[in-house]
Structure 1
Amino acid sequence: MNQSEISKAVVEALARANGAGCNVRARYTECALTVGVPGMGGFEWIDATPEQVLRLADDPTAIYAELVGLTKAEYLEWFESQGLVYCSGTTVKGQRCKNPIVRPQALSAQDWKKLREDGGYCHAHGG
């Protein structure tokens, strides 16, 4: 694609993404495309590449995840948990504990990912 074709494709992708319920805006004065990524407490506006905008309407969740540095599965878990990290302990029935760990809540995507990887425990499991 030449520059003109890319520009046209990006404008069309913006329209498709906004029509699909995605929050996208172009800041032409700064030559930037930003995507409103749903997160804790609303949207975080993050700069996106033209390629990301082109793919946004097809799989918004994958692009949101990419923009915040998570996999799609991680993004869904982070979003659905409202930024909580759950206990690494197991119950007496051998299932993973569903209590949040004793730490801050409503974490950013990257803070959530690090804390989740580090593990932690709720009050019942020694946290």
Structure 2
Amino acid sequence: MNEEQFLNMLDEKGIGFIITVPVPLGYQQVLLKKDQVLEYLADKYSVLAKCYGVSRSEYVTWLDQDMSVQCCATTVKGKRCKNVITGGLHVSVEQWVKSQGLLCDLHEEKGK
């Protein structure tokens, strides 16, 4: 029996494929379709990104930035500002994507 046949047998018996994924301030369970299981085992970030309707790189960066939106300004030392924007702490990946390009209070004030 190959992997696909095994997954089909489990699915036919009513066995679901549930994974636990990080979300702001906790975890959430996501039900994978049987055809997503092997893909998830090969590259979980691609599957999760598809579940949320974002790109793989957006999903991974969201996780790397602790699910928070960082300011898009450049510091006087030429590095990206890492301050979190107002309302950008521990947000959903969808909100994180929508909020890209916003400034923190410090850089917003300087721009006025």
What root-mean-square deviation, in Å, do the aligned CA atoms of Structure 1 and Structure 2 show? Answer: 2.8
**Alpha carbons 2:88, 2:96 under 8 Å: kept:** no
Q: How does 1:30-109 map to 2 (within 5 A)?
A: 33-109=17-93
Per-residue deviation, 1:62: 2.0
SS at match of 2:42: coil
Q: 2:96 — aligned with what?
A: 112
Per-residue deviation, 1:76: 1.4
Structure 2: any 5+ residue segments left out of the alignment?
none
Quickly say closer, same or farther: Cα 1:94–1:104, change in 2 above 3 A: closer
CA distance in 1, matches of 2:36, 2:95: 23
Structure 1: any 5+ residue segments left out of the alignment?
15-26
Per-residue deviation, 1:9: 3.0
1:18-75 deviation digits (Å, cap 9, x = unpaired): xxxxxxxxx93xx754332222233222232221112121222222222222222211
**Alpha carbons 1:10, 1:54 under 8 Å: kept:** no
Percentage of pairs with the same residue:
29
Equivalent residue in structure 2 for 1:122, among 80, 87, 104: 104
Q: 1:24 — aligned with what?
A: none
